[in-house]
Amino acid sequence: MTAVASTIFDSVLYRDVFSTPAMRVVFSDEAHLKACVQAEVALAVAQGETGVIPREAAETIAREAPGIVLDREQLKRDTENVGYPIVGLVRQLSERLGESGRYLHWGATTQDIMDTATVLQLREAVALIESQLAEVMAELANLARLHRDTPMAGRTHLQQALPITFGHKAAIWLSMLQRSADRLQQAKPRALQAQLGGAVGTLASLGERGLDVRAAYARALGLTEPDITWHVARDGLVEVVQTSAVICGALGKIGYDVMILMATEIGEVFEPFSPHRGASSTMPQKRNPISSEVLLANAKMSRDAASLMLDSMVQDLERATAPWHGEWLALPQVCLLTAGSLAQAKFMLSGLIVDQEAMIRNLQSTRGLIVAEAVMMGLAPALGRQLAHDEVYAACRDAATHDEALLDALLRRPAIASALPRDRLAALCEPANYLGTAGAMVDRVLARQVKH
């Protein structure tokens, strides 16, 4: 029967919207089986090196096992019957390896191989994520550098609050990803560990040479050697998945900001233009924020999958029942979503259209009200902080009621007019004069970016 696409990751229509071809390859059946065989070969090599199995058998396994063509239909039936693919995999490999096949999977258990295979796949996934993350960070650094001093309205509770710069906003976005890049780097030694423990994690089947075998096994795979078996201690895998979900969340915040700033009434930034991108089937004028919507959706989906990974940490005794199975869905899904989000973010940010004139227009739309805090702080030394607040508050209400400039409302209040001259009040009412240390903070983030 021909396979039927039933999820967004399989769909010809959606799979490259929500993820990437490269990450799908990492978590394909082919990649998983290849990683399982790689683990079996590494185990044989380690055991041949330590004298647990004949060296000749190990050499034969290493030479021939990777090239064996598996009967996928039989493996499918075995997996459905046993619940896991390793029994069927080992049977097929052993039959093709002749006498040397007797020594395949020596002293190991199914989860040893499957966990190690998962780690090998995760290593490839993390490498892809790190590469994509670097590209997105570079785009954000360019935006922060270019717009370091581009003033715009900062908004709280969806209302204009105080002036900021677009470079400051971009640098905040960048800082989130910088921290996640650090988290990934720190998590790798804890997550990318070889798994070998035997039935209950004691390596009893390998006798006194168990630890030597595990050390050689880890070396053969280029993985960290664990201090102790981790098959029911899943924190390492969870840490990488949570970090990936954090990346999706950070990108979701970026997408949410861009969506709001693309609103007709704001119109300060726009996703890259291409004919009919974001078009409506019925409203020709529409230009919807497509990449941003995917970023927000992926953030929500990755959160749920990451939650499942956390739940899967609660495993029973020395071998998990259902919790382990939850990882099979959650771990690939978060990696797929992270790759998709990074790809969408790269596309969007590399061609982001920044309308500086619209930013200025919106910044001036309240005719000075956005810098009421600046006026209050400027008056505070003369009037005291509380009186200054009350006077400016009253002036703001007058300005809003009479639809006039804040400066005019300020000058009508005797306490204010006598405290500061008109030119000083006018300077305080200029949004570009109240950007604080936004530029200096952008510089700090950009300086840190050099290290990534």
The two tokens of residue 200 are: 């209950």
- Please check whether residues 360 and 447 belong to one and the same domain: yes
Average pLDDT (213-236) is: 92
- Please check whether residues 254 and 391 belong to one and the same domain: no
Give pLDDT tens digits for 294-304: 999 999 988 88
- Please check whether residues 131 and 267 belong to one and the same domain: yes
The one catalytic residue in 11, 131, 280, 307 is: 280
User: Length of the chain in residues, anyone?
Assistant: 452
Q: Let me know if 157 is a catalytic residue.
A: yes
161 Cβ partners below 8 Å, 6+ apart? 153, 154, 155, 370
**Inside any domain, residue 187:** yes
Give pLDDT tens digits for 42-59: 999 999 999 999 999 999
- Please check whether residues 208 and 294 belong to one and the same domain: no
**Inside any domain, residue 83:** yes
- Please check whether residues 161 and 251 belong to one and the same domain: yes
In this prediction, residue 314 carries a pLDDT of 86
Q: The whole model's pTM is what?
A: 0.90
The two tokens of residue 44 are: 């044989």
Give pLDDT tens digits for 156-208: 998 888 999 999 999 999 999 999 999 999 999 999 999 998 888 888 988 88
**Inside any domain, residue 434:** no
Q: Let me know if 280 is a catalytic residue.
A: yes
Q: CA-to-CA distance for 340 and 26, rounded, in angstroms?
A: 14
- Please check whether residues 166 and 292 belong to one and the same domain: yes
**Inside any domain, residue 10:** no
Q: CA-to-CA distance for 242 and 363, rounded, in angstroms?
A: 38
Domain of 136, CATH number, reads 1.20.200.10
Q: Could you tell me whether strands 269-270 and 353-354 are parallel, antiparallel, or unpaired per DSSP bridges?
A: antiparallel
In this prediction, residue 335 carries a pLDDT of 94
Give pLDDT tens digits for 379-419: 898 888 899 898 889 988 988 888 898 888 888 888 888 88
CB atoms within 10 A of CB 29: 11
The total number of structural domains that make up the chain: 3
Could you tell me the sign of the dihedral formed by the alpha carbons of 272, 275, 280, 284, in that order? positive
3-state secondary structure 336-386: HHHHHHHHHHHHHHHCCEECHHHHHHHHCCCCCHHHHHHHHHHHHHHHCHH
Question: Mean pLDDT, the chain, as a whole number?
Answer: 89
Give pLDDT tens digits for 139-157: 999 999 999 999 999 999 9
Percent of the chain with pLDDT over 70: 96
Residues 377, 162: contact at Cβ < 8 Å? no
**Inside any domain, residue 12:** no
Classify burial at 124, counting beta carbons within 10 Å of its beta carbon; exposed 0-12, middle 13-18, buried 19 or more. Answer: middle
Of 179, 207, 223, the one marking the end of a domain is 223
Domain of 84, CATH number, reads 1.10.275.10
In this prediction, residue 129 carries a pLDDT of 96
The one catalytic residue in 157, 274, 276, 281 is: 157
Q: How much of the chain is helix, strand and coil, in % rounded to 5?
A: 70, 5, 30
**Inside any domain, residue 344:** yes
Question: For residue 279, is pLDDT > 50?
Answer: no
Give pLDDT tens digits for 320-377: 777 878 888 899 999 999 999 999 999 999 999 999 999 999 999 988 888 888 888 8
- Give the confidence band of 116 by pLDDT, cuts at 50, 70, 90: very high
Classify burial at 281, counting beta carbons within 10 Å of its beta carbon; exposed 0-12, middle 13-18, buried 19 or more. Answer: exposed
- Please check whether residues 218 and 178 belong to one and the same domain: no
Give pLDDT tens digits for 249-273: 999 999 999 999 999 999 999 888 6
Could you tell me how far CA 74 lies from the centroid of its own chain?
37
Give pLDDT tens digits for 409-447: 888 888 888 888 998 988 988 888 989 999 999 999 999
**Inside any domain, residue 437:** no
Q: What is the largest CA-CA distance in the chain?
A: 102
> What are the DSSP E strand ranges found in 190-337?
269-270
Q: Which of 34, 36, 56 is nearest to 45 (CA)?
A: 56
The two tokens of residue 173 are: 């976005």
- Give the confidence band of 275 by pLDDT, cuts at 50, 70, 90: low
Of 180, 205, 223, the one marking the end of a domain is 223
Q: CA-to-CA distance for 401 and 216, rounded, in angstroms?
A: 78
In this prediction, residue 152 carries a pLDDT of 93
Of 223, 241, 264, the one marking the end of a domain is 223
Helix (H) or strand (E) holding 156: strand 151-156
CB atoms within 10 A of CB 357: 9
In this prediction, residue 341 carries a pLDDT of 95
**Inside any domain, residue 18:** no
- Please check whether residues 187 and 202 belong to one and the same domain: no
Instruction: Residue 43: give the domain boundaries.
Output: 23-106+196-223
Question: For residue 280, is pLDDT > 90?
Answer: no
- Please check whether residues 309 and 414 belong to one and the same domain: no
- Please check whether residues 215 and 235 belong to one and the same domain: no
- Please check whether residues 339 and 298 belong to one and the same domain: yes
Question: For residue 22, is pLDDT > 90?
Answer: yes
- Please check whether residues 166 and 314 belong to one and the same domain: yes
